[in-house]
Structure 1
Amino acid sequence: MLLNVAAYHFTPLDDADALAATLRTAAEAGDVRGTILVAPEGVNLFLAGDETAIDAVLAVLHDDARFAGLDVKRSWSCAQPFGRLKVKRKPEIITFRRDGTTPFDRRAPAVDPPTLARWIAQGTDDDGRRLVLLDTRNREEFDYGTFGGAMTLPIDNFTDLPAALAPHRDELADATVVSFCTGGIRCEKAALWLHDDGMQNVLQLDGGILGYFEQVGGFGYDGHCFVFDGRVALDPQLKPVVDAAA
């Protein structure tokens, strides 16, 4: 079995090029494949390989104080879901093109998976406000599955989200809106931007769908979660729906 990991961390980097090179060296040494994105705002990675080799790559980050608190989501597959290793130096680790949305020293309010599961069961938050789940992913992703009754928007790119949501903002004014995405990184920016833009009722789901699956399972979720590799999608037990080894 191969270990699959997904992780991101926002932190100012003045040595992004050097860090990208160090991570590449560590990954190549263990034949780790996947994608490593490095930008002045942090790191975002999706990798698969032997567990020892993956841990060696993660050790580069764990040994760097700037990445304290790095949250790594782990799952397993029978075969390598990535064709090769790609290490990219980018302007952003998740492209949103909105100033002031990188959560260095602040982030939008969040809700943890067990609390969200309770709210889904209740149909309201703990103050009795109606609950709306906002899917910030694109149409290809949510076609594989999403939370039951979630608001989905006909977008193809994350940068389209603010404009696509704009016509719906008035109807959401009396609700507690919980934004979610695959692993949480998009909502770090989207929820912060919406909060700063006047939607004080927006929360982000900590850890995204994969974090919810890990802590809660599939309660309230319909279908599978699309992932960006050869596994295609994961079920609520974090097992591949389509495994390259099958």
Structure 2
Amino acid sequence: MHILNIAAYKFVALDRLPDLQTAMREALQSRAITGTVLLAEEGINLFLAAPGPAIHDFLVWLRQDTRLSDLPVKESWSHAAPFRKLLVKVKPEIIKMNHPAIQPSAGRAPAVDAATLQRWMDCGHDDGGRPVVTLDTRNAFEVDVGSFKNAIDWRIAKFTEFPQALLKHRDTLQGKTVVSFCTGGIRCEKAAIFMREAGVEQVYQLDGGILKYFEECGHAHFDGACFVFDARRALDPGLQPRVPLSPG
């Protein structure tokens, strides 16, 4: 396997987006990297693939921007690139929620790392003795591919439905420690902030999402695979495509 796949996001104030879009497209094209980059005033979200040296060289270039110097990246490997082309887009939000008051760059919700979540699920409660529940913030069709055992699933069809679902079910979460999770962390970060502002007292986000959890904890407490929005379709707990890619 020689194709390095990376997923990364960061909520950070960005300006001069058209200029950044042009520079980033040129940097990626010159390294023959494919995938998708979303840019917004609230931050960056990207999914990219290429041979390892090209990806690492691009990250060196990207991190010269002090706003992105600490961009956390999740990695996995495949035999072929899961993207056929490159897209660099400017969007109103890097993950659409339709709640502009939610600004993660102004302050993150508390995060729990993968090892701590596994320990809590092993015990059934957090370090303070409160019962722990996991809340899947992804779309229903993603959940159907795989999720944490006994995770709360409100069967939303798109992330913009999450706020209304939370308000409907908010009372059922009181008295519990709620850990929101998603594929790579971006949706559950916004979701956790919204839940705290809506009055849910004890909320954490799973830092790095399912992909980081797989990397650090494997299949513990997880049934199935993690849906991804590329040609791999789903990754198993070893971060390998559930159905091998055809060279493309």
- By the TM > 0.5 criterion, same fold? yes
- The residue number in structure 2 matching 1:55 is 56
Residue 79 of structure 1 aligns to a residue whose secondary structure is coil
Match of 2:106, SS state, is coil
Match of 2:176 in 1: 175
The whole-number CA distance in structure 2 between the counterparts of 1:68 and 1:100 is: 26
Offset of residue 152 of structure 1: 0.6
The code of the aligned residue for 1:74 comes to E
TM-aligned CA deviation for residue 40 of structure 1: 1.1
Q: Please give the residue correspondences for 1:186-225 in structure 2 after superposition, counting only pairs within 5 Å.
A: 186-225=187-226
More deviation, 186-195/134-143: 186-195
- Cα offset for 1:165? 2.5
Pick which of 24-33 and 226-235 moved more. 24-33
Which amino acid in structure 1 is aligned with residue 137 of structure 2? Answer: T
Distance (Å, rounded) in 2 between the aligned partners of 1:14 and 1:85: 22
Query: Are the counterparts in 1 of residues 166 and 195 from structure 2 also a CA contact under 8 Å?
Result: no
TM-score, normalised on structure 2?
Answer: 0.96
> Which string of whole-angstrom CA distances, capped at 9 and with x for unpartnered residues, describes residues 86-109 of structure 1?
111111111111122121131111
Cα distance in 2 for residues equivalent to 1:64 and 1:167: 41
For 1:243 and 1:20, the matched residues in 2 are separated by: 32
Whether 1:21 and 2:26 are equivalent positions in the alignment is no
CA distance, structure 2, for counterparts of residue 162 and residue 10 of structure 1: 19
User: What does 1:78-227 align with in structure 2 at a 5 Å threshold?
Assistant: 78-227=79-228
| AA at the equivalent of 1:112 | D
Query: Equivalent residue of 1:98, what SS?
Result: coil
Gaps of 5+ in 1: none
Q: Aligned-pair RMSD on alpha carbons?
A: 1.2
**Deviations 1:107-134, CA, capped at 9 Å, x for gaps:** 1111111100000000111111111100
For residue 61 of structure 1, report the CA deviation from its aligned partner. Answer: 2.1
Segment drifting more, 26-35 vs 54-63: 54-63
Letter in 2 for 1:75: S
Aligned residues: 246
Q: Deviations over 1:31-81 (max 9, x none)?
A: 111101111111110001111221232223211111132100010000111
Residue type matched to 2:32 in 1?
D
Residue aligning to 2:6: 5
Runs of 4+ in 1 over 2 A off after TM superposition: none
Partners of 1:65 and 1:153 in 2: CA distance: 38
Deviation at 1:166, TM superposition (A): 2.4
Give the deviation of 1:200 after TM superposition: 1.9
Structure 2 gap ranges (5+)? none
Deviates more, 1:189-198 or 1:140-149: 189-198
- Which letter maps to 2:118? A
Distance 1:139 1:194 in 2: 19
Check whether the contact 2:7–2:46 (CA below 8 A) recurs between aligned residues: yes
Letter in 2 for 1:237: G
* Cα distance in 1 for residues equivalent to 2:43 and 2:205: 19
Q: Which amino acid aligns with 1:3?
A: L
Work out the percentage of aligned pairs sharing the same amino acid: 51
TM-score normalised by length of structure 1? 0.97
Q: Distance in 2 between matches of 1:68 and 1:187?
A: 23
